[in-house]
Structure 1
Amino acid sequence: MGHRPALALLDILRGEGVDRIFGNPGTTELPFLAALSEAEDAPEYVLGVHEGAVVSMADGYARGTGRPAFVSLHIAAGLANGLIGLLNARRSRTPLVVTAGQQDRRHLQQDPMLSGDLLGLARPAAKATYDIQHARDLPLALRRAFAQARRPPAGPVFLSLPMDLLTEDTEVDVPARTAPPRPGPAAGLDRAAVLLGGAARPAIVAGDGVGREDAVAALVRTAEACGARVHHQPMADCLNFPATHPLHAGMLPPRHDAIRAALSAYDAVLIVGAHAFTPHHYSPGPALPTGITVVQLDSDADEIGRNFPADAGLVGALAPSLHRLAELLREQVPDHTAKARVLRAGERHTAERARAESAARAAYSAAPLAPWAAAHAVAHGLPPDAVVVEEAITVGLLLRRLLRLDRPGSYTHTVGGGLGWGIGAAVGRSLADPGRPVVSVLGDGCALFGLQGLWSAARQQVPVLFVVMGNGSYRTLQDTYKAMGGSGSCPGTELGALDFTLAARFFGVDAVRAESADHLRELVAGVDELTRPMLVDVPLRTS
């Protein structure tokens, strides 16, 4: 049975489970909006007043629901505004299907206003791009886009839609949806178990694939089976191992020399779902120490041996692979040996936690708060089922050391590095799972990039607590400048004192200033009582 092009688009969206459309429309999207207004069961349109916030909301929503989110942008300018979000989504492997309206094809050769090279803009930030020139091609391309967006490595897929194409007086066939195959465990697990089981000092690096593929419980079983300490990958985007588990060893720093030093204590390492360690600052030499046995497991075949050699490279779905590996390891490692390793690791874990707690408590004083104290107040105020959406850069590093999160999906970050993601992502995350309280911890510089997301927070009435850590500067740049031997002040990095309560109220969001660490902890603890968004302005000490 045929459908008009715009109705065919909506039919496919419904079949792919799309219940919300994140967008900011213009004239080229009017045919799509007309179809939405006429359909009785159309997805909800979630408006953002800037495309950066639009894509960030979709990013948070896709992560919370576990399925691709759909984004509608407006022509070249709207796509350009949304590129920072697409770059973040590609780095964080968030599945998005993104469309932008193109000018009417009947005068496109005349270089009309707002037209542009949409595919040229989108290619660096998308897994794949489609230039739809015939209505008959739209349904097949859209089906293909959803499949590509979710297939490892997941990411954004872009389609250019000329505005007149959706209004064509023609009917197109809608192909039935093919359910994605259920990937199974990797081949070669027997040999991997022998390599890891024979190690005297095994370790695991938990990459973000673990959290994305809901494999945290399976990784816990694997770690316990051999007593391996577990490090999060550098700047991890999600919770890949419970923070309170005795085998949890914290996050690896994003430099090869520091990773090499941290892993030098082990003779074998299992690297699971990690994208090549994603270094930030350059340091000479490889990430892995010489002589260490490496077992690498990933659902993306291109990751195997990509940046370092592996003694065993395994490709398969992470959860079933890890569950099977745990069973095999129990045959290789005596139970008393594994338990003794867990006990020793637990003592070290407890000592490291105590040092972080001591450093934070020593920083407590009257306002303005020290960064350690602010991070401690947030970490200790969080309700057990809270979700943390973090874009705080310097304070975020401290917060990672203090969080006690155990539940999968309870931490969200973007390794993409494009600022302004946090506010919109928190809105989308709350819409995806309204039963869980969301606390968005933001740096003041990050918040300035994404302030328009507060409009959508107020419009959607999401019960999100936005906590803005204000040090009045791009502090991470200043710290790096000094570490590189820079003298004097670092130009272009001072923001000055900012009152984010005024900004929040302008957008219709309730706001309060934290007067002390205890006050901040109480505000965070009350997030599960919110019925609408609230912003907490937290002035920090600058020295």
Structure 2
Amino acid sequence: MGYRPALAVLDILRGEGVDRVFGNPGTTELPFLAALADAHGSPEYVLGVHEGAVVAMADGYARGTGRPAFVSLHIAAGLANGLIGLLNARRSRTPLVVTAGQQDRRHLQQDPMLTGDLIGLATPAVKATYDVQHAHDLPLALRRAFALAVRPPAGPVFLSVPMDVLAEDTEVEIPARTPTPPPGPAPGLERAALLLGAATRPAIVAGDGVGREDALAALVRTAETCGAVVHHQPMADCLNFPTTHPLHAGMLPPRHDAIRAALAAYDTVLIAGAHAFTPHHYTPGPALPPGLTVVQLDSDPHEIGRNFPAAAGLVGALAPSLHCLAELLRDRVPAHTAKARILHAGERHTADRDRAESAARAAYSPAPLAPWAAAHAVARGLPPDAVVVEEAITVGLLLRRLVRLDRPGSYTHTVGGGLGWGIGAAVGRALAEPGRPVVAVLGDGCTLFGLQGLWSAARQAAPVLFVVMSNGAYRTLQDTYEATGGTGVCPGTDLGQLDFTQAAGFFGVDAVRAADADHLRELVAGAGELTRPLLVDVPLR
């Protein structure tokens, strides 16, 4: 059966499980919008008033649903506005299928308004591109894009679709969707079990692949079977190990010298689903200490041995691989040995957490709040089953040390670093999981970058609690400036005190200013009762 091109797109979207289109339209998308109107709004069109917010909403939605999200942008300018979000999605390995309408091919040689090299713009920010030039190629390219978006390493895939291709008066065939079997466990697990079973001081680095592939329970089982201490990868995007677990040792800092120092305490480490310890600040030397035996497991074969040698490199799906590894370790690590290691690690980690708790509680005061107190108030106020969407930079580092989370998907960040992601991502996450409270913890600079996302929050009545940590500065840059020997005031880093309640009101979002730490905790505790968005302005010292 043949379909007109725009109708073929809709049919494929529905077949791929797409129930929402995230977009900001223009004239080159009119054939698609007309088809959507004829289909009575199925899938639903979720409008954003800036492409940065559009892509961020899709990012949050894809993470919440576990399916690729679909994004519709407009020509070169719209694509350019969305590039920050695409860079974030590529780094965070979020599966997106993104289209942008190109100008009508019949006058491209005349350099019409708004046209541009869409493929050239998109290529550095996405996993793959398709330049669709014929209507009959569009269905096949779209099928390929959805398949490629989820294949390890997952990421955004871009299609440039000229306006006249979508409007072409022809019928095209839709290729059937080919189901693929779920990937299985990695070969070579016996050697991995041999190395980990022989370790006297084993450790695990829990990478974001664990969270993306829903392998958290399998990693817990592996860690408990051998009594291995578990660190989150630097600046982790997901909850990859329960922060409530006695074996949880916190996040590795994003510097090679600090990672090397932290891992020097161990003789063998399992690195599961981690993207090669991508550092933030440069320090000389490798990330791993000399003499450390490395077992590396990843679903992406390109990660194995990419930045450091591994004694055993394993390629396979994380959850089944870790379950198999746990079974093999049961015969190699005596149960009493594992229990003793867990008890010892739990005592040490509990003492560390108690010190952090004491420091945070001692900082409680009326506003403006100390950062420790603000982070603690949020962490202790989180309702059960809450999702934290964090883009708070400096306060976010403190929050990671204080949150007590154990459900998969309960912490979301982007290691991409393109500011302005948090507001849109929180809206997308709320749309994806309407039964879970969503608390977005944002820096004031990040909020300014993504402010247009509040319009979509109000339009969608997304019940998100936006907590803006307002310190009036690009604090992380100031801290780095001082730490590297800078003197005087670092230029270009002072925002001044801004009233985010007024900004929220402009977009139709209710807002309140936190009076003290206890007030902030109460507001966060009420996130599960929200029926529409609420912004909390938190003045910080």
Contact 1:135 1:165 in 2 (8 A): yes
TM-score for both structures, normalised by structure 2: 1.00
CA distance in 1, matches of 2:181, 2:100: 29
Partner of 2:115: 115
Aligned residue in 1 for 2:183: 183
Percent identical among aligned pairs is 86
Q: What secondary structure sits across from 2:501 in the alignment? A: helix
| Distance (Å, rounded) in 1 between the aligned partners of 2:229 and 2:200 | 12
Amino acid at match of 1:165: V
2:503 is aligned with 1:518: no
Map of 1:128 onto structure 2: 128
Match of residue 232 from structure 1: 232
CA distance in 1, matches of 2:509, 2:41: 30
Tell me by how many angstroms 1:384 deviates: 1.5
State the partner residue of 2:367.
Answer: 367
Aligned to 2:59: 59
1:435 maps to 2:455: no
Question: 1:43 and 2:43 equivalent?
Answer: yes
Q: What SS is found at the alignment partner of 1:492?
A: coil
The secondary structure found in structure 2 opposite 1:230 is: strand
Which residue number corresponds to residue 71 of structure 2?
A: 71
Matched, 1:395 2:395: yes
SS of the residue aligned with 1:164? Answer: helix
Quick one: which amino acid aligns to residue 259 of structure 1? I
1:26-51 Cα offsets, whole Å, 9 max, x none, are: 01011110000001462000000000
Give the C-alpha shift of residue 517 in structure 1.
Answer: 0.2
Which runs of structure 1 show a deviation greater than 2 angstroms over 4 or more consecutive aligned residues? none
Residue 499 of structure 2: aligned partner: 499
Equivalent residue for 1:386?
386
Q: Does 1:284 align with 2:257?
A: no
Summarize deviations over 1:425-464 as a string: whole Å, max 9, x none: 0000000000000000000000000000000000000100
- In structure 2, the partner of 1:308 is 308
2:474 corresponds in structure 1 to 474
Q: Contact 1:147/1:180 (CA < 8 Å) preserved in 2? A: no
- 1:180 deviates by 2.6
Query: d(CA) in 1 for partners of 2:345 and 2:314?
Result: 27
Count of residues in Structure 1 that have an aligned counterpart in Structure 2: 541
1:385 & 1:378 partners in 2: Cα distance?
A: 14
Q: How far apart in 1 are the matches of 2:348 and 2:180? A: 43
Matched, 1:22 2:22: yes
Note the C-alpha offset of 1:125: 0.4
**Cα 1:41–1:492, aligned 2, differ >3 Å: closer, same or farther?**
closer
Distance in 1 (alpha carbons) for counterparts of 2:46 and 2:17: 16
CA drift at 1:316: 0.1
> In structure 2, how many angstroms separate the alpha carbons of the residues matched to 1:476 and 1:31?
45
* Pairing 1:415-434 to 2, within 5 Å after superposition: 415-434=415-434
Give the gaps of 5 or more residues in structure 1: none
Aligned counterparts of 2:77 and 2:493: Cα–Cα separation in 1: 28
Give the partner amino acid of 1:250.
G
Q: Any conservation in 2 of the 1:461–1:531 contact (CA below 8 Å)?
A: yes
CA distance in 1, matches of 2:219, 2:115: 49
Which secondary structure state, in structure 2, belongs to the residue aligned with residue 106 of structure 1? helix
Scaled by the length of structure 1, the TM-score of the pair is 0.99
Residue identity in the other structure for 1:340? A
For residue 467 of structure 1, give the secondary structure of its aligned residue in structure 2. strand
> 1:181, CA displacement in angstroms?
2.4
Paired with 2:288 and 2:342, the residues of 1 have a C-alpha distance of 23
Q: Which moved more, 1:365-374 or 1:88-97?
A: 365-374
Map residues 149-298 of structure 1 onto 2, 5 A cutoff. Answer: 149-298=149-298
- The 2-side partners of 1:528 and 1:41 are apart by 29
In 1, the alpha carbon distance for the partners of 2:369 and 2:168 equals 61
Aligned partner of 2:189: which letter? L
Q: Provide Cα deviations, 1:256-303, integer angstroms capped at 9, x if missing partner.
A: 000000000000000000001110000111000000100000000000
Please name the residue that 2:358 is paired with: 358
* Counterpart code for 2:240: N
Distance 2:255 2:399 in 1: 19
**Does the 8 Å contact 1:363/1:372 carry over to 2?**
yes
CA RMSD, Structure 1 to Structure 2 (Å): 0.5
CA distance in 2, matches of 1:264, 1:143: 47
SS in 2 for 1:497: coil
Distance (Å, rounded) in 1 between the aligned partners of 2:260 and 2:482: 24
C-alpha contact 1:59 1:425 (8 A) present in aligned 2:
yes
Query: Which one-letter code corresponds to 2:219 in the other structure?
Result: L
CA distance in 1, matches of 2:15, 2:220: 35
Distance 1:234 1:362 in 2: 28
Q: Is residue 238–residue 412 contact of structure 1 (8 Å, CA) maintained in 2?
A: yes
Deviations 1:215-253 (A, max 9, x none): 000000000000000000000001000000000000000
SS in 2 for 1:73: strand
Return the alpha-carbon distance in structure 2 between the equivalents of residues 467 and 12 of structure 1: 38
Distance 1:490 1:526 in 2: 38
Partner of 1:332: 332
Quote the Cα distance in structure 1 between the aligned partners of 2:363 and 2:23: 43
> SS in structure 2 opposite 1:332?
coil
Deviations 1:163-213 (A, max 9, x none): 011111111000000113210000000010000000000000000000000
Q: Aligned letter for 2:250?
A: G
CA distance in 1, matches of 2:349, 2:245: 8
Q: Kindly provide the amino acid, as one letter, of the partner of residue 165 in structure 2.
A: L
- Aligned-pair distance for 1:349? 1.2
CA contact (8 A) 1:31 1:163 kept: yes
Q: SS state of the match for residue 331, structure 2?
A: helix
Distance 2:147 2:230 in 1: 32
**Matched residues in 1 for 2:40 and 2:518: separation?**
50
